[in-house]
Structure 1
Amino acid sequence: MVFINILDKWLRGLATMIVGGVATCAVAGTPLTVVTEEFAPYSYVESGEVSGYSTEVVRAALARAGIDYSIQIYPWARALQMATARPNVLIYSIVRTPQRENQFQWIAAIAPRNVYLYKLAARQDIQIHALADLKPYRIAANRGDVVEEQLHQLGLTADLSAKDVFSLQKLIAGRVDLMVATELSIEGVCQRANVSCALLERGMQMPEISGYYVAASLGTPVATVQRLRQAFVQLRNSDAMRQSADKYGVTPVK
């Protein structure tokens, strides 16, 4: 009887090891498709490589988790569609909203978000002091971006583009009155559009929603998500996230 009990415990232990090993191999052996948008200094292409603060942090977490991956930059609407429709997709820097809460497996916050309205400095006829003042104006936003969602909730219609640089071009051409950007990202947008940021004037801050996150598609294995969550905790505890934030001039998450 004692021998049977010992054998039973040994077999259960062996089964647990096998299942755990299979799960580990499944995580390590399933490459993730990682998607984001052109959004300097958080994500951008430099010398053929996807770089930036968020990219650096995501790469570090994936390395700690031992997960194979490939990173691609797409227009935001396409990146969002991939992350909502396909398994094994990781998306960053995505804003966490109540509408998106059940569409993803949320992994970690990576940066705060402070967004402002921008206009041409020469357009002194545009005076915005409150959200109600936005009614008469055409406001540019990226298709699928949280700004589009926010403007819709405010009863406003957004003039949609695939990329921020197209919104800036519309602003310069007078096709829209306002666009939305962060203080950090607007510099990158101006650079890509070959436009001087001195032509722009920062206006009112948009209502805060949440910070920028990393999230996984619903079809991504739970084991993968758990390992990535642990990896991000380790990054914060090691101070690596703050060091990356300092490198790119980004405020780190607290």
Structure 2
Amino acid sequence: MLFTPYRRSLCLALYIICLLAVSPAQALKLYTEEYPPLNFTRDGRPTGLGVEVVQEILRRTGQRAEIEVVPWTRGYHAVQTQADTGLFVTMRTAEREQLFKWVGPIIVAVTSLYALKDSGLSIASLDDAKKAGIIAAPRQWYSFQTLEAQGMPNLYGVLGPKQMMNMLRYKRVPLVVADNVTLASLLALAELKPADVEPLYTFMSTQAYIAFSRDTDDLLIEQWQSALDQMKADGRFEAIYHKWLPGAPLPE
């Protein structure tokens, strides 16, 4: 039987619909950074608390995603400019609230100003901190952005945490910024230990989330949040959390 132009068009349309029906969903592109124990590379593969949580969410939702460990600035830029992208773990701050869609919380971090033991410094407020000498922090960190917004005249932006900790070790700066979750791994970059430093002033407590690009489908955000909530309810989240952060308080 000969096909009329109408029949040919109809058959072509049905063929395309069938292809779409069996084609896999568009994979997400997920970015993270070297920030142990939350996310980092081990034996060429991403791992850490945040990575395991994300992998479990993917398993529960049946979705696909490529996780790439990149410098923070690259991932932060990508999730603001590319569709179907996510970045974790990302501190949820007022300055970032409208930039992303959020799933979480994953961790809670207490951020403080740290000095070497026996520094002789005493800080009771941000006003005291303004007079205490140079404060070093990576420019891309949320904590740098927070202190910058406070108008800290002695804030010094560095390229990364290793530079910051080396400056502290060799007494090129008296103060650095760090959170309680990653403090030990940050100090290790400069061959320091937690016993070598002391927190002088805590200026923020922040929850970290998975941040998605603004054009990410709301249904996907709901699916991910639901999967994370289920993990918290059935104990899987707690098991992952305390594997990497033994004894640390769970995020509310």
TM, length-normalised to structure 1? 0.82
1:214 match: 210
Structural mapping, 1:15-164, within 5 Å: 29-124=25-120, 126-136=121-131, 137-157=133-153, 158-164=155-161
Superposed displacement of residue 163, structure 1: 2.4
In 1: Cα distance, 2:67 partner to 2:107 partner:
19
Q: Which moved more, 1:66-75 or 1:143-152?
A: 66-75
Q: Please list the CA deviations of residues 56-103 of structure 1 after superposition, one character each: whole Å capped at 9, or x if unmatched.
A: 111111221122112222232222111111111111111112221111
Which AA in structure 1 matches 2:168? L
Q: Which runs of 5+ in 1 are unaligned?
A: 1-17
2:251 match: 253
Q: Which moved more, 1:103-112 or 1:198-207?
A: 198-207
1:193 aligns with 2:190: yes
Superposed displacement of residue 31, structure 1: 1.7
Describe the SS at the equivalent of 2:34: coil
In 2: Cα distance, 1:183 partner to 1:108 partner:
19
Q: Please list the CA deviations of residues 147-191 of structure 1 after superposition, one character each: whole Å capped at 9, or x if unmatched.
A: 111111221143222322221012123332211112231111122
In 2: Cα distance, 1:55 partner to 1:37 partner:
10
Q: Is the 8 A contact 1:37 1:75 kept in 2?
A: yes
Superposed displacement of residue 25, structure 1: 7.1
Superposed displacement of residue 50, structure 1: 1.5
State the superposition RMSD in angstroms: 2.3
Please identify runs of 4+ aligned residues in structure 1 that moved more than 6 A.
none
Q: Is the 8 A contact 1:75 1:162 kept in 2?
A: no
2:235 match: 239
Which AA in structure 2 matches 1:228? W
Superposed displacement of residue 122, structure 1: 4.1
Q: Is the 8 A contact 1:109 1:212 kept in 2?
A: yes
Is the alpha carbon distance of 1:113 and 1:183 closer, same or farther for their aligned partners in structure 2, counting shifts above 3 Å? closer
Q: Is the 8 A contact 2:134 2:156 kept in 1?
A: yes
1:169 match: 166
In 2: Cα distance, 1:55 partner to 1:140 partner:
28
Superposed displacement of residue 109, structure 1: 0.8
Is the alpha carbon distance of 1:25 and 1:247 closer, same or farther for their aligned partners in structure 2, counting shifts above 3 Å? farther
Q: Which runs of 5+ in 2 are unaligned?
A: 1-16
1:13 match: none
TM, length-normalised to structure 2? 0.83
In 1: Cα distance, 2:195 partner to 2:250 partner:
27
1:228 aligns with 2:228: no
Paired residue total: 232
Is the alpha carbon distance of 1:51 and 1:173 closer, same or farther for their aligned partners in structure 2, counting shifts above 3 Å? same
Q: Is the 8 A contact 1:77 1:145 kept in 2?
A: no
